Structure 1
Amino acid sequence: MTTTNTSRLDVIDALRGFAIVSIMLLHNIEHFDFYFSPAGLPAWLKIVDKLIWDSLFFLFGGKSYAIFALLFGVTFYIQYHNREVRGEDFRARFAWRLALLLAFGVFNSMFYHGDILSIYAVLGLALIPVARLKDRWVLAIAAVLLLQPYAWIEVFQALPNPNQKLPDPASWAYFGRANEYFAHGSASQVWSGNLTNGKIGVIRWSWENGRIFQIPALFMLGMLAGRQGLFKDQAFWRRALVCAVLAFIPFYMLKTWPEIMGLGEAVSRPLLVIITSWSNVAFMVVLVSVFVLLFYSQRWLSVFSPLGRMSLTSYVIQSIVGTTIYYGFGLGMYQYTGASFALAIGVTLAVLQRQFSVWWLAHHPQGPLETVWHRLTWLGARARN
């Protein structure tokens, strides 16, 4: 097994910060999952809004969280390896660390029901049984998960009656109910709704769209990338960029124009889950490859590093601030902001959050929530990271 220097890699911090910023921009134009188009906008602004919406979702929709998942696996490897070289087994401590992350995720879910921390906390358990497997076995398991096995079962089940009319996805009903309390609910009604109705809807949506399989696969690929020291291997990312572009083009075409497959709804819906998942992973690799290659020649990209070092704090803060800006219990800006103005708000918040991170890290080694997470992780033991 090839190992790498387990000290914090600057490129990983910067890439994580980039993912945080791109997630923030998407969340803002979505009004933090409150999809609403304000009335009375001039025609030209509607065109600009659509261009911004389509461009940001093309670039980051389904990809930013995937970058986050990949880096989650890298971080697990670094922590696991740091303890392994001292003759210690990190797996039990990691399970406790995931329980703490789940608590952070539940708190964050009060504000934003689309929280990924709680989902990562549960699916992160998949790393424990594979931590000591050889690379080829981990890669094989990740590949099976990326193939979206349940969606393929649905495809084959639909073949005898491919034109069967399917009901709406179950998650839609939950999201429809959420819109009511997003618009008119008090803060306590939003928080309770997010923890019940909203959380069930997000879990169902994650299952319907194949993320329950994709996320642990990306965790495992990130762990393998850490083992192999790939974030220091520019040649690897050049090859990965070419392969990912070649893979993305046909997947994107099939996802965008599914009618060219000429299949009935019962077959095409699960097949689109598979194709969309593969398309997003391919473009995620494009983004990571370009970022890594540019990072080593354009060090200005380290501007994202402070946000990456405080990713947990940054993610939770954006949920609290963002929902207060857009939801009805706060400023209610969902009524007035299309994608253009919401993007401007998102960019402003990203800049402010980056400056806060710079200021905080000048006085502390970690972000506030990172410090709590670290100390509780090593409760009852001497942390020697």
Structure 2
Amino acid sequence: MKMERVRLIDGLRGLSLFGILLANMLIFQYGMWGKDEISYFSLSNLDTGAYKFIKIVVEGSFMPIFTFLFGYSLIKLVESLRKKEVRARWHLVRRFLLLIVLGILHSTYIWEGDILFFYGLMGFFLLFFINRKVKTLIIWGAILFLLTSSMNYGVLEETKELEEKLSTYITKTNNIYANGTYSEISYHRNNEMPPLFEEEFLMIFVIILAPFVTAPLFLFGMAAAKANLFTRPRKEQKWYKVGAVLLPIGLALKSASILLQENAWSAMLLNVGAQLLSVGYISLFALLFVAFSNSNVFLAFESVGKLSLTNYIMQSIICTSIFYGYGLGLFGKLGMLNSIILGLGVFVIQCVCSFLYLKKFRRGPLELLLRIGTNFSLNGSVRTRKKVKLENTPSS
């Protein structure tokens, strides 16, 4: 039973990394801001179709899976630490601080699309919920989901001045990322902010809102771990079937948001659709796992999932080397369809390398580093408290 649970969770983590890679291909090739201003790039009809496919089917719907699994793994880590009679909170604090440091290094020296920094910060927020009951976690998650989904996000009015600034920024970014040296790209990434960052109120609003928008999936993952979901896949199939129904609903809502003109309604449909689609993907994957758990495909996802941190960073290193000027310089030139094919190729290579690596080693290099820092021991093992012998203690 334990083995099945671990395999399914690792497989889901591998699936999320695959989707995150495909979604990030938009950023690797068109930039963090250019990906949503695709008119700056000359896409063929085929590439336009591929672009819409990624926006609807992939973008925004695989990161929530990773978020859900972060919450799930957090509770399982706490349970493991408590069985060894150690103070879980200090281990978690060290883990979250390490994620923050890794995130800063990642975004500063490799790529601006980092998620580790945010996950580390969210970890401290989640500390308030680790002792809550399943029911409490679900209620809080549902309340935050309803509140953030029904909010009128509004659309920032793009004045002519703002449009001109954004156009200048994207054009400059395209040129530097496609032709610049490593130092030129690093300087631009770390020092030249997009014009939207000049809107102080907007930035404060986003910083305050972001934790609450993402919190539901973290909390639902924690609730799932406390309820021991995914520990008995064959007996849980009926729940997977219910969740899989959300897949077409999520696709429909996201499709509608793409077709609608950009406004508060389209933003709400996109957010809700992305979350529902995530649950649909989790459920469908779990259903397929029950039937084909020993297939090479699921073994591949599992292998990547076991080395999720290392593979995530490697995706950034590989893709920036392909698209940026200090590498092959294909920024904005490869085309959307070709970038999807490239993403598939990179992930297949990661599957093979991860499978072969795990034949000799138990953990990836970054996973081991995180474990050493979390447990504060050179070999990465948990240091349990020494029990004091009481035989010779004088009685009062």
TM-score over 0.5 for the pair: yes
Q: 1:283 aligns with which of 268, 277, 282?
A: 277
2:189 counterpart of 1:194: yes
Alignment-derived partner of residue 251 in structure 1: 253
Q: How many residues align?
A: 362
Amino acid at match of 2:333: Y
2:112 counterpart of 1:113: yes
Q: Which has the higher contact order (CA 8 A, sep 6+)?
A: 1
DSSP-derived class of the 2:359 partner:
helix
2:333 counterpart of 1:336: yes
| TM norm structure 1 | 0.81
Question: Aligned partners of 2:115, 2:273: CA distance in 1, in Å?
Answer: 20
Question: Aligned partners of 2:221, 2:187: CA distance in 1, in Å?
Answer: 34
Cα-to-partner distance string for 1:219-240 (whole Å, 9 max, x where unaligned):
1111111111222322221122
Q: 1:304 aligns with which of 284, 301, 304?
A: 301
Task: Give the structure with higher Rg (CA).
Answer: 2
DSSP-derived class of the 1:9 partner:
helix
Question: Aligned partners of 1:68, 1:213: CA distance in 2, in Å?
Answer: 16
CA contact (8 A) 1:111 1:190 kept: no
Alignment-derived partner of residue 235 in structure 1: 238
Distance 1:384 1:356, change over 3 A: farther
Shift in Å, 1:254: 4.7
Question: Aligned partners of 1:205, 1:340: CA distance in 2, in Å?
Answer: 36
Distance 1:204 1:338, change over 3 A: farther
Alignment-derived partner of residue 143 in structure 2: 144
CA contact (8 A) 1:32 1:112 kept: no
Alignment-derived partner of residue 77 in structure 2: 79
Shift in Å, 1:298: 1.3
Shift in Å, 1:84: 2.4
Question: Aligned partners of 1:319, 1:178: CA distance in 2, in Å?
Answer: 18
Identity %: 23
Distance 1:246 1:8, change over 3 A: closer
Q: CA RMSD in A?
A: 3.6
CA contact (8 A) 1:113 1:199 kept: no
Distance 1:302 1:328, change over 3 A: same
Cα-to-partner distance string for 1:164-222 (whole Å, 9 max, x where unaligned):
956569x9689636445323432123224334446997995993896432322211111
Shift in Å, 1:366: 0.4
Alignment-derived partner of residue 262 in structure 1: none
Distance 1:143 1:212, change over 3 A: same
Distance 1:335 1:133, change over 3 A: closer
2:57 counterpart of 1:59: yes
Question: Aligned partners of 2:12, 2:29: CA distance in 1, in Å?
Answer: 22
CA contact (8 A) 2:56 2:258 kept: no
Structure 1: gaps (5+ residues): 159-163, 260-264
Alignment-derived partner of residue 49 in structure 1: 47
CA contact (8 A) 2:11 2:303 kept: yes
Shift in Å, 1:247: 4.8
Q: 1:182 aligns with which of 177, 191, 200?
A: 177
Shift in Å, 1:296: 0.9
Amino acid at match of 2:189: N
DSSP-derived class of the 2:113 partner:
coil
| TM norm structure 2 | 0.79
Question: Aligned partners of 1:66, 1:332: CA distance in 2, in Å?
Answer: 31
Question: Aligned partners of 2:24, 2:299: CA distance in 1, in Å?
Answer: 23
